[in-house]
Amino acid sequence: MGKSAYHDVVNDIEICEKNNGRMNGDTTLVVVSKTFPVDEILPVVNAGARTFGENRVQEAASKWPQIREQFDKIELHLIGPLQSNKAAQAVQLFDVIQTIDREKIAAVIAREMKKQNKSLQLFVQVNTGSEPQKAGVLPENTTEFVRFCREKYGLQISGLMCIPPNNEDPGQHFTLLKRLSEECQCQYLSMGMSADYRLAIEFGATHVRVGSAIFGQRPTNNQ
């Protein structure tokens, strides 16, 4: 795993893009480094990876400042739920937040970006399976929520993100997210993980979030 697995995934993405008539480089690989320590992340950075995803603000803060001291052009994505009391630190630390999902978070992100004079790339998380235990805006509310974020808070929502239910065909969820992105006029689609990123590319993903295929399986309690 690690360096060689990273190269395997990069090559696999290039093949998927070619097979689906997409341009080389259309798909951004977000290497999901959550739960993995710095000494396991560094070989992947050395292999050329520069875009990473973390679930928790505090964990990211404990790892990435020291990595960024050694490497330029690191782009860090928040791909886990954001609590409003972590928003200031999130805006300071991350370049992309993929998990805007309610008005309170939209408001505090807008305030912190203005306060810190920093512009982040923002995605809205969509709960495509309408799962009660999962974060995200319901599909039927997505278009209105994106419009609300843009008009009330001036947020430049540029993408949508989803995590399909484990027990369902992800293709139907990728199709739904693609349709919603067109309705919202969003440029980016973050969908697909280690088990289904190839399918996600076929359905138009611009960002795939791959962790275990690169680093190996996480401990069960960190899933």
The pLDDT value recorded for residue 195 is: 93
Q: How many CB atoms lie within 10 A of CB 103?
A: 13
Dist CA 158 CA 185 (whole Å): 8
- Answer yes or no: are the C-beta atoms of 150 and 125 closer than 8 Å: no
Q: What is the mean pLDDT of the chain?
A: 95
- Answer yes or no: are the C-beta atoms of 176 and 161 closer than 8 Å: no
The pLDDT value recorded for residue 219 is: 62
Place of tokens 């990876």: 49
Q: How confident is the model at residue 84 (pLDDT cuts 50, 70, 90)?
A: very high
- Answer yes or no: are the C-beta atoms of 206 and 26 closer than 8 Å: yes
The pLDDT value recorded for residue 57 is: 97
- Tens of pLDDT along 187-205? 999 999 999 999 999 999 9
Dist CA 159 CA 185 (whole Å): 9
Dist CA 184 CA 144 (whole Å): 9
pLDDT over threshold 50, residue 222: no
Q: Taking the alpha carbons of 172, 204, 11, 220 in that order, is the dihedral positive or negative? A: negative
- Numbers of helices and strands, H then E, in the chain: 9, 8
Residue 111, Cβ density class (10 Å: 0-12 exposed, 13-18 middle, ≥19 buried): middle
Per DSSP, the three-state class of 220 is helix
pLDDT over threshold 60, residue 221: no
Q: How confident is the model at residue 3 (pLDDT cuts 50, 70, 90)?
A: confident
Entry field: residues in the chain: 223
- Tens of pLDDT along 118-161? 999 999 999 999 999 999 999 999 999 999 999 999 999 999 99
Domain 3-215: which CATH number of 3.40.50.720, 3.40.50.620, 3.20.20.10, 3.20.20.80: 3.20.20.10
The CA-atom distances, in angstroms, between 222 and each of 14, 102, 216 are 30, 25, 13
Q: What is the mean pLDDT of residues 102-121?
A: 97
Q: Does the reported pTM lie above 0.85?
A: yes
Q: Which residues pair with 209 in a beta bridge?
A: 30
Q: DSSP class of residue 222?
A: G
Dist CA 75 CA 93 (whole Å): 10
- Where exactly are the structural domains of the chain? 3-215
Residues 6+ apart with CB under 8 A from 64: 52, 54, 74, 76, 93
